[in-house]
Structure 1
Amino acid sequence: MTNQRIILTGGPGSGKSTLIDALTRRGYACSIEAGRAIIQEQVASGGNALPWEDRQAFAELMLSREIRAWHSAGNADAPYFFDRGIPDVAGYLTLCQLPVPAHLEQAIAHFRYAERVFITPPWREIYAQDAERRQSFAEAEMTYRVMRATYQQHGYRLLELPRAPLDKRVNFILAALRSD
Structure 2
Amino acid sequence: MNNLIVFTGGPGAGKTSVIEHLIELGYHCAPEAGRKVIQQQVAIDGDALPWRDKVAFRDEMVREEKNNHDTYGSHHTFVFFDRCIIDSYGYSKLESLPVSDVLLSACHQLHYAKQIFIFPPWEAIFANDKERKQDFTEAMRTYEEMVKAYHQFGYELIEVPKQSVEQRVKFILSFIQEG
TM over 0.5: yes
Q: Distance in 1 between matches of 2:123 and 2:111?
A: 31
Does residue 1:39 correspond to 2:29, yes or no?
A: no
Q: Distance in 1 between matches of 2:96 and 2:73?
A: 33
Does residue 1:120 correspond to 2:119, yes or no?
A: yes
Aligned counterpart, 2:84? 85
Q: CA offset at residue 111 of structure 1?
A: 0.6
Q: Distance in 2 between matches of 1:45 and 1:103?
A: 25
Q: CA offset at residue 101 of structure 1?
A: 1.4
Q: CA offset at residue 11 of structure 1?
A: 0.3
Alignment of structure 1 residues 125-164 onto 2, 5 Å:
125-164=124-163
Does residue 1:29 correspond to 2:28, yes or no?
A: yes
Aligned counterpart, 1:179? 178
Q: Distance in 1 between matches of 2:168 and 2:73?
A: 26
Q: CA offset at residue 74 of structure 1?
A: 3.5
* Aligned partner letter, 2:11: P
Identity %: 44
Q: Distance in 2 between matches of 1:74 and 1:117?
A: 16
Q: Distance in 2 between matches of 1:18 and 1:101?
A: 31
* Aligned partner letter, 1:147: M
Alignment of structure 1 residues 69-84 onto 2, 5 Å:
69-84=68-83
SS in structure 2 at match of 1:72 = helix
Does residue 1:11 correspond to 2:5, yes or no?
A: no
RMSD, aligned α-carbons: 0.8
* Unaligned runs of at least 5 residues, structure 2: none
SS in structure 2 at match of 1:9 = strand
Aligned pairs, how many?
Answer: 179
Q: Distance in 1 between matches of 2:73 and 2:107?
A: 17
Q: CA offset at residue 129 of structure 1?
A: 0.9
Aligned counterpart, 1:109? 108
* Unaligned runs of at least 5 residues, structure 1: none
Q: Distance in 2 between matches of 1:74 and 1:135?
A: 31
SS in structure 2 at match of 1:118 = strand
SS in structure 1 at match of 2:97 = coil
Q: Distance in 2 between matches of 1:143 and 1:20?
A: 19
**Segments of 4+ moved more than 3 angstroms:** none
Report the TM-score when normalising by structure 2: 0.98
* Aligned partner letter, 2:71: S
Q: Distance in 2 between matches of 1:75 and 1:39?
A: 27
Report the TM-score when normalising by structure 1: 0.97
Q: Distance in 1 between matches of 2:20 and 2:147?
A: 23
